[in-house]
C-alpha cells in the first residue's frame, strides 16, 4: 500500500501498460506508447508531495496537488500560491464529500451548482457560506489529527523526490520546507481563531 501513499493509483500505469492491461483509446487498445508521460513517477511533483504530506488523510484525493502540477507546467509559483491552492481545494472537497458527491464528478459540482441545488430544499446558502463550512470541517479534522499525535515537525519528504527530474525541473528542498512552514503557520493561526470563537 505504500506505493499508493507516495504516488497514488497512477503508480499502476507502467505495470499495467507492460502487461498489456492498460485500457486506452476508448478501450480500443491495451497499451499506450506514451504511458511514461502519465505514470505516477512522472506526475510525482511538488504540489503532489505537499498535498500528500499536508492533506487531512494524506491522500492524493485531499487536494489533487497532482492536477495543479499538470496545469502549471512552465509557470513559476510561490510557496504562497501553492498553499492557497492546496487549502482552497481541500476545503472545497470537504463540502463535496459531506454531500456524498463522488470526487470524479467534482468538476460538475462547482460552488454555484451546489448553491442552486440547495434552493429547492429551502436552504439559502451562498458560495461564501459553503466555503466557510468547508474551512471549518477541514480545521476540525486537523484539530483531531493534532490531538491524536500528528505533528508538522514529523513530516519528512522522501529523498528520492529530490533526485527525480519532473516537468517542473528538479524539486527544491528549500521550497518544500518553506511551503510546509507557511502552511503550518496559516492553519495554526486559523485553529487558534476557531478555538477563540468557540470560547467566545
The whole-number average pLDDT for the span 59-84 is: 85
| Predicted local confidence at residue 1, as pLDDT | 44
Tell me, what CATH number does 97's domain have?
1.10.599.10
Nearest alpha carbon to residue 58 among 21, 29, 90: 90
Q: Are residues 79 and 122 in the same domain?
A: yes
**pLDDT above 60 for 168:** yes
Which pTM does this prediction carry? 0.76
Q: Are residues 38 and 106 in the same domain?
A: no
Of the given ranges (51-60, 77-86, 87-96, 121-130), which has the lowest mean pLDDT?
Answer: 51-60
Q: Are residues 141 and 195 in the same domain?
A: yes
Q: In which domain, by residue range, is 3 found?
A: 1-43
Q: Are residues 15 and 66 in the same domain?
A: no
The whole-number average pLDDT for the span 124-130 is: 97
Q: Are residues 88 and 132 in the same domain?
A: yes
Q: State the Cα–Cα distance between residues 82 and 176, nearest whole angstrom.
A: 10
- Count the neighbouring beta carbons within 10 Å of the beta carbon of residue 3: 12
Q: Where does the pLDDT of residue 196 fall: very low under 50, low under 70, confident under 90, or very high at 90 and above? A: very high
Q: Where does the pLDDT of residue 84 fall: very low under 50, low under 70, confident under 90, or very high at 90 and above? A: very high
Q: Are residues 92 and 145 in the same domain?
A: yes
| Predicted local confidence at residue 34, as pLDDT | 80
In the three-class reduction of DSSP (H, G, I as helix; E, B as strand; rest coil), residue 166 is classed as strand
Q: Are residues 121 and 195 in the same domain?
A: yes
Q: What is the DSSP string of 86-154?
A: HHHHHHHHHHHHHTT--GGGTTT--HHHHHHHHGGGT----HHHHHHHHHHHHHHHHHHHHHTT--GGG
Tally of domains in the chain = 2
pLDDT for 5-57, tens place per residue? 455 666 777 887 788 877 787 767 878 888 777 676 665 556 677 887 888 87
Q: Are residues 58 and 104 in the same domain?
A: yes
| Predicted local confidence at residue 182, as pLDDT | 97
| Predicted local confidence at residue 60, as pLDDT | 66
52 vs 158, residue with greater confidence: 158
Q: Are residues 160 and 148 in the same domain?
A: yes
Amino acid at each position: 500500500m505504500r506505493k499508493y501513499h507516495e504516488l497514488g493509483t497512477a503508480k499502476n500505469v507502467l505495470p499495467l501498460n507492460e502487461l498489456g492491461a492498460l485500457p486506452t483509446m476508448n478501450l480500443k487498445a491495451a497499451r499506450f506508447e506514451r504511458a511514461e508521460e502519465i505514470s505516477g513517477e512522472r506526475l510525482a511533483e511538488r504540489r503532489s508531495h505537499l498535498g500528500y504530506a499536508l492533506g487531512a488523510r494524506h491522500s492524493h484525493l485531499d487536494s489533487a496537488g497532482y492536477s495543479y502540477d499538470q496545469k502549471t507546467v512552465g509557470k513559476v509559483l510561490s510557496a504562497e500560491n501553492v498553499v492557497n491552492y492546496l487549502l482552497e481545494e481541500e476545503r472545497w472537497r470537504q463540502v463535496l464529500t459531506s454531500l456524498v458527491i463522488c470526487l470524479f464528478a467534482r468538476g460538475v459540482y462547482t460552488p454555484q451548482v451546489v448553491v442552486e441545488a440547495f434552493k429547492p430544499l429551502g436552504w439559502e446558502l451562498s458560495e461564501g457560506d459553503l466555503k466557510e463550512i468547508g474551512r471549518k470541517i477541514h480545521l476540525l479534522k486537523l484539530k483531531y489529527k493534532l490531538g491524536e499525535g500528528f505533528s508538522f515537525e514529523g513530516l519528512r519528504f522522501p529523498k528520492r523526490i529530490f533526485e527525480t527530474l519532473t516537468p517542473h525541473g528538479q524539486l527544491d528542498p528549500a521550497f518544500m520546507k518553506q511551503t510546509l512552514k507557511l502552511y503550518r503557520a496559516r492553519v495554526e493561526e486559523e485553529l487558534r481563531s476557531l478555538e477563540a470563537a468557540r470560547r467566545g
